[in-house]
């Protein structure tokens, strides 16, 4: 059996026909600057081949239906079956929790069903017995009542165990009155009542007039009685004369009046999916269900006890406490249930222990999954795919260090060691030097990005790469590279532009938090995983600032916020830029609009009577009619998900042949070919086009020079998405703006981080306040001010350990971050 993967002439994306052998049965890491070809090699070549291995077991007839595309390499041999862990976990349902995603709740529900104390119809508790597992009726020894023991599904908040009032969501919706009339200077005729514009027929204004409300004066000038009719008026029929805007004749109608509140409630009753909920939720506020107190479980589900505790109480425990609780009490199980108890407890504890070892012991099973960071969700997913102790599998990991403080990396290393010990292989893409140093073999791609990348510039053991004179990562592996990239503000001047102060009540693991943040500076929020960084900034500071800016009621967990002269708060995170597959780098940045106008002025376009709109591949006449301007077509494969392939007519360009025939003479190119260039190539090509050039220069400055203009934005990496979101702000006055960044170094090489810090410096120079949630020590070292949370995660965190300059954090003995800042750098010059 071969102990390596053999690849010959790989030429996907910017890979320059590379030949390489990748070792198996060990950890191989791929490094390189953004856009150098790392993901193309790991995901596009190796994983694509490995994931398709199972297809070779299908009949030729079945494979024909799948229409699988050949991996872009002349030869790729000895690839094991592969499993991938992506950088950005998939979107999750609002009903998903840590317990459901980790599958711990499945075992816990079974434990309640088989090992729990259940109430008889008369309220007496019965001791656990083998009859529950056998499905036999239980007989109460006190009142002789007979009843069936609850099954595992009876403890599921997505099933029979759901609270009937909130349907297992833990929250109830109520209409948010503040959202119904967002601008009270408008009249009802001008659309003051927002739900009537988006959720109801336009003639509700006419019905409202018949209810005795003046609709032609500003809403704020209406009497209290009139406002009450708008908000809460009765649902009664009124006779109206309705004249449609596009018709001259009027129609008489009897129409029921729906108040603004009833309009929202009526729309909510008709919601069938999350897409429908999106239309309504802007008019709603969420409150904890008063019946289940947010637990999601019904009274009946909460009646049963496991070792004296109900299921909602156990789900609210942190995982490390729940693990200890189950281990402690399982030892006292009745002898008749000993074997079953041991099996269930073993299944629960082995899974829980893995998650605790990965640094997630501070999470509770009832924690909403969408409230976890990308790094936390990625570790939950990693645990799910490796806990079955498989062998002979290739694990392809994209940025496994996401969301991990240096303190938490030990758990990741242990997990990878276990994968290898079980007879598997790991191929990972990462930039964290501690993760790269852990590898047995290192492949460095480069030298640059896009057309300047795609080559293997160094490979071998980490020791060999460290000694290389051509390697870009070597100085960082050696910790010999200088990492002070900007002039940090003097300590006595940090607060000279003002202060933002936040005080909170308890939420998650935070308790009476007090934050003091300098305005106009670059502040880093640090701490180990689970220390409360995301909660403090995204669930406390951001909502408090929004309420302050829009003069709305503060969230219940906010005591006070002081932030004068702040008008805008932007969250720059790794979420995809929209889900519209038609969105590209060119359309998002505005470059496409500029180019459409330019090409519409050509003599060929004028001769054909074409306008700028005709050059749109979304709606224009020049779009490809075969794929409707998408660049790809979907194949309906029976019994399988649809498959997308490049459009056979336009070959992915999105345009028809006419668009290729219209040439802008000064550039000597057509629009489809121009959009197929990367940013660096387009910048050279469009140097004479001022508006286009200025936008391209910004994209180049933020490190996206390697992306093509027609690149689909939903497919960008998390780091690329964050930087692109910044592009529209860089030329503005930002003194009244706050930018909140959630791990902006995701996917960035140390040299790319240097560029990012340069962008941060530029934002600060324009007066912006930067608040950055981060683990990367290079970036933290360059902050003006640091707020370090902790000291640990979960109930051992949630406090501000210290806040101040880099020097003060280094001198704080209680700060784990300070410890790593002190020992993590050799060259601080």
**pLDDT 10s digits, 398-413:** 888 887 888 888 888 9
d(Cα 744, Cα 169) in Å, to the nearest integer? 32
SS3 501: strand
Least confident of 243-247, 599-603, 736-740: 243-247
183 DSSP assignment: -
Three-class SS of 112-149: HHHHCEEECCCCCEECCCHHHHHCCEEECCCCCCEEEC
Q: How many CA atoms lie within 13 A of 176 on its CB side?
A: 17
Closest residue by Cα to residue 473 from 446, 509, 449, 510:
446
Q: Are 523 and 786 in contact (CB under 8 A)?
A: yes
SS3 622: coil
Q: What is the pLDDT of residue 444?
A: 96
Q: Are 382 and 102 in contact (CB under 8 A)?
A: no
- Check pLDDT > 80 for residue 66: no
**pLDDT band of 55, cuts 50, 70, 90:** low
Contacts of 485 (CB under 8 A, 6+ apart): 754, 757, 758, 778, 782
Q: Tell me if domain 98-170+291-358 and domain 173-288 are identical in fold.
A: no
**pLDDT band of 802, cuts 50, 70, 90:** very high
Give Cα 390 to chain centroid, integer Å: 29
Phi, psi of 256 (to 5 degrees): -80, 135
Count Cβ neighbours within 10 Å for each residue of 214-251 and write b for 16 or more, e otherwise. Answer: bbeeebeebeeebbebbbebeeeeeebeeeeeeeeeee
- Check pLDDT > 60 for residue 54: no
Class of the CATH-defined domain 98-170+291-358 = mainly alpha
* Beta bridge partner(s), residue 655: 623
**pLDDT band of 65, cuts 50, 70, 90:** very low
d(Cα 764, Cα 766) in Å, to the nearest integer? 5
Would strands 769-773 and 522-526 be described as parallel, antiparallel, or unpaired?
Answer: parallel
d(Cα 294, Cα 300) in Å, to the nearest integer? 15
Q: Is the dihedral of CA 54, 56, 59, 61 positive or negative?
A: positive
**pLDDT 10s digits, 747-790:** 788 888 888 888 899 899 999 999 999 988 889 999 999 999 98
**pLDDT 10s digits, 109-130:** 999 999 989 999 999 999 888 8
SS3 743: coil
d(Cα 822, Cα 829) in Å, to the nearest integer? 14
Annotated domain spans of the chain: 4-90+373-478, 98-170+291-358, 173-288, 499-575+724-823, 585-715
Q: What is the pLDDT of residue 537?
A: 93
Cα three-residue angle 672-673-675, rounded to 5 degrees: 65
Report the CATH number of the 4-90+373-478 domain.
3.40.50.300
pTM, to two decimals: 0.75
**pLDDT band of 824, cuts 50, 70, 90:** low
The tokens for 457 are: 């510039």
Q: Are 536 and 510 in contact (CB under 8 A)?
A: yes
SS3 253: strand
Q: What is the pLDDT of residue 746?
A: 79
Least confident of 335-339, 359-363, 420-424: 335-339
SS3 92: coil
Phi, psi of 769 (to 5 degrees): -100, 125
Q: Which CATH number fits domain 585-715: 3.50.50.60, 3.90.100.10, 3.40.190.10, 1.20.1580.10?
A: 1.20.1580.10
Average pLDDT over residues 522-537: 90
d(Cα 769, Cα 500) in Å, to the nearest integer? 10
Contacts of 121 (CB under 8 A, 6+ apart): 145, 147
Q: Count other Cβ atoms within 10 Å, centred on residue 299.
A: 10
Closest residue by Cα to residue 121 from 145, 151, 152:
145
**pLDDT band of 156, cuts 50, 70, 90:** very high
The kind and range of the H/E element at 646 are strand 643-646
Q: Are 218 and 201 in contact (CB under 8 A)?
A: no
Helix axes 690-701, 750-765, angle to 10 degrees: 120
Q: Are 428 and 435 in contact (CB under 8 A)?
A: yes
Q: How far is the CA of 546 from the CAs of 493, 554, 561, 764, 786, in angstroms?
A: 27, 9, 11, 21, 23
The tokens for 144 are: 């002789």
* Beta bridge partner(s), residue 654: none
What is the number of residues in the chain? Answer: 829
Report the CATH number of the 173-288 domain.
1.10.8.280
Q: What is the pLDDT of residue 62?
A: 46
**pLDDT 10s digits, 587-604:** 989 999 999 999 999 999
DSSP string, 694-722: HHHHHHHHTT-TTSBTT-BGGGS-HHHHH
Closest residue by Cα to residue 541 from 771, 757, 762:
771
Average pLDDT over residues 495-509: 90
Q: What is the pLDDT of residue 638?
A: 46
- Check pLDDT > 60 for residue 246: no
SS3 446: strand
SS3 437: helix
Q: What is the pLDDT of residue 632?
A: 82
**pLDDT 10s digits, 623-654:** 998 888 888 876 654 444 455 678 888 988 99
Phi, psi of 700 (to 5 degrees): -65, -40
Q: Count other Cβ atoms within 10 Å, centred on residue 496.
A: 13
Q: How far is the CA of 36 from the CAs of 17, 103, 823, in angstroms?
A: 14, 37, 30
Average pLDDT over residues 715-729: 79
Alpha helix (H) ranges present in 283-373? 299-303, 311-316, 319-330, 338-355
The tokens for 617 are: 């591949």
Would strands 558-562 and 568-572 be described as parallel, antiparallel, or unpaired?
Answer: unpaired
Which residue would you say has higher pLDDT here, 444 or 85? Answer: 444
Q: What is the pLDDT of residue 1?
A: 65
Rounded to a whole number, what is the distance in angstroms from the first to the last CA of the chain?
50
Cα three-residue angle 810-811-813, rounded to 5 degrees: 100
**pLDDT 10s digits, 265-322:** 888 887 766 566 777 888 888 888 999 999 999 999 999 999 999 999 999 999 999 9
Burial class (CB in 10 A: 0-12, 13-18, 19+), 478: middle
d(Cα 130, Cα 113) in Å, to the nearest integer? 11
Closest residue by Cα to residue 171 from 67, 92, 264, 97:
97
Contacts of 412 (CB under 8 A, 6+ apart): 358, 379, 400, 401, 404, 435
Average pLDDT, the chain: 86
- Check pLDDT > 50 for residue 825: no
Q: Are 289 and 163 in contact (CB under 8 A)?
A: yes
Q: What is the pLDDT of residue 69?
A: 56
Average pLDDT over residues 369-373: 80
Q: What is the pLDDT of residue 826?
A: 39
List, in sequence order, every beta strand (DSSP E) within 537-585. 558-562, 568-572
Q: How far is the CA of 193 from the CAs of 117, 209, 681, in angstroms?
A: 53, 13, 50
Give Cα 671 to chain centroid, integer Å: 34
Average pLDDT over residues 165-183: 88
The tokens for 570 are: 């932007």
Give Cα 434 to chain centroid, integer Å: 24
Name the superfamily (CATH) of residues 499-575+724-823.
Answer: P-loop containing nucleotide triphosphate hydrolases (3.40.50.300)
d(Cα 27, Cα 39) in Å, to the nearest integer? 16
Q: How many CA atoms lie within 13 A of 347 on its CB side?
A: 15
Closest residue by Cα to residue 155 from 289, 295, 346:
295
- With a pLDDT cut of 70, the percent of the chain lying above it is 91
d(Cα 330, Cα 342) in Å, to the nearest integer? 8
- The single residue listed with the structure tokens 């070959």 is 651
Q: What is the pLDDT of residue 346?
A: 92
Count Cβ neighbours within 10 Å for each residue of 689-704 and write b for 16 or more, e otherwise. Answer: beebbebbebbbbbbb
**pLDDT 10s digits, 704-714:** 888 899 888 88
- With a pLDDT cut of 90, the percent of the chain lying above it is 45
- The single residue listed with the structure tokens 């708060």 is 569
- Check pLDDT > 70 for residue 91: no
- Check pLDDT > 50 for residue 493: yes
Q: What is the pLDDT of residue 674?
A: 94
């Amino acid at each position: 059996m071969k102990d390596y993967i053999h690849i010959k002439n790989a030429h996907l994306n910017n890979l320059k026909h590379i030949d390489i052998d990748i070792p198996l049965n060990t950890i191989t890491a791929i490094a390189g600057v953004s856009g150098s070809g790392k993901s193309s090699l790991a995901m596009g070549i190796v994983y694509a081949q490995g994931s398709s291995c199972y297809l070779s077991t299908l009949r030729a007839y079945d494979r024909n239906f799948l229409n699988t595309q050949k991996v872009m390499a002349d030869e790729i041999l000895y690839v094991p079956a592969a499993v991938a862990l992506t950088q950005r976990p998939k979107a999750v349902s609002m009903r998903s929790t840590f317990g459901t995603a980790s599958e711990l709740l499945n075992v816990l529900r079974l434990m309640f069903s088989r090992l729990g104390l259940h109430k008889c119809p008369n309220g007496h508790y019965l001791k656990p017995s083998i009859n529950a597992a056998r499905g036999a009726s239980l007989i109460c020894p006190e009142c002789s009542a007979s009843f069936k023991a609850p099954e595992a599904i009876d403890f599921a908040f997505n099933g029979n165990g759901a609270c009937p009032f909130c349907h297992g969501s833990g929250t109830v919706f109520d209409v948010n009155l503040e959202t119904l009339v967002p601008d009270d200077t408008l009249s009802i005729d001008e659309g003051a009542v927002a739900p009537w514009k988006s959720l109801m027929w336009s003639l509700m204004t006419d019905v409202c007039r018949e209810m005795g409300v003046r609709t032609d004066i500003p809403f704020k000038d209406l009497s209290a009685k009139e406002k009450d009719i708008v908000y809460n008026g009765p649902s009664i029929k009124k006779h109206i004369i309705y004249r449609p805007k596009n018709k001259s004749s009027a129609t008489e109608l009897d129409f029921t009046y729906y108040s603004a509140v009833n309009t929202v409630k009526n729309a909510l009753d008709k919601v069938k999916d999350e897409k429908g909920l999106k239309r309504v939720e802007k008019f709603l506020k969420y409150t904890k269900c008063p019946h289940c107190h947010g637990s999601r479980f019904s009274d009946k589900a909460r009646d049963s006890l496991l070792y004296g505790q109900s299921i909602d109480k156990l789900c609210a425990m942190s995982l490390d406490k729940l693990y200890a609780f189950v281990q402690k009490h399982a030892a006292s199980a009745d002898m008749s249930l000993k074997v079953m108890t041991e099996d269930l407890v073993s299944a629960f504890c082995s899974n829980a222990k893995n998650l605790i070892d990965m640094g997630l012991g501070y999470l509770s099973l009832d924690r909403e999954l969408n409230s976890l960071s990308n790094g936390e969700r990625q570790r939950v997913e990693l645990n799910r795919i490796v806990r079955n102790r498989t062998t002979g599998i290739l694990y392809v990991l994209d940025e496994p260090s996401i969301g991990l403080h240096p303190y938490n990396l030990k758990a990741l290393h242990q997990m990878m060691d276990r994968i290898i010990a079980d007879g598997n292989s790991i191929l990972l893409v990462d930039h964290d030097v501690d993760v790269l140093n852990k590898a047995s073999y290192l492949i460095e791609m480069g030298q640059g990005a896009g057309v300047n990348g795609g080559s293997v510039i160094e490979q071998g053991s980490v020791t060999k790469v460290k000694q290389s004179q051509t390697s870009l990562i070597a100085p960082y592996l050696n910790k010999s590279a200088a990492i002070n990239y900007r002039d940090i503000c003097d300590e006595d001047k940090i607060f000279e532009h003002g202060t933002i102060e936040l005080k909170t009540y308890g939420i998650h693991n935070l308790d009476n938090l007090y934050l003091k943040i300098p305005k106009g500076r670059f502040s880093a929020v640090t701490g180990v995983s689970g220390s409360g960084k995301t909660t403090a900034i995204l669930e406390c500071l951001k909502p408090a600032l929004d309420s302050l800016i829009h003069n709305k009621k503060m969230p219940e967990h906010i005591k006070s916020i002081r932030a004068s002269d702040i008008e805008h708060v932007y969250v720059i995170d790794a979420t995809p830029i929209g889900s519209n597959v038609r969105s590209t780098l060119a359309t998002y940045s505005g470059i496409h609009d500029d180019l459409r106008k330019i090409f519409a002025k050509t003599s060929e376009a004028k001769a054909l009577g074409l306008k700028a709109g005709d050059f749109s591949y979304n709606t224009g006449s020049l779009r490809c009619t075969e794929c409707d301007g998408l660049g790809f077509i979907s194949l309906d494969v029976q019994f399988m998900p649809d498959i997308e392939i490049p459009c056979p007519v336009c070959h992915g360009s999105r345009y028809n042949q006419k668009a290729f025939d219209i040439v802008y003479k000064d550039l000597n190119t057509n629009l489809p070919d121009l959009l197929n260039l990367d940013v660096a190539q387009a910048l050279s090509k469009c140097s004479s086009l001022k508006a286009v050039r200025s936008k391209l220069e910004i994209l180049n400055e933020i490190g996206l020079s390697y992306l093509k203009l027609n690149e689909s934005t939903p497919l960008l990496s998390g780091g690329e998405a964050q930087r692109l979101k910044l592009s529209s702000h860089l030329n503005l006055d930002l003194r009244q703006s706050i930018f909140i960044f959630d791990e902006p170094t995701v996917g960035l090489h140390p040299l790319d981080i240097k560029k990012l810090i340069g962008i941060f410096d530029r934002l600060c120079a324009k007066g912006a306040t930067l608040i950055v949630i981060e683990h990367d020590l290079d970036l933290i070292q360059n902050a003006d001010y640091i707020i370090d949370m902790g000291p640990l995660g979960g109930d051992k965190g949630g406090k501000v350990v210290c806040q101040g300059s880099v020097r003060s954090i280094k001198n704080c003995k209680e700060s784990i971050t300070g410890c790593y800042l002190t020992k993590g750098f050799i060259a601080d010059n």
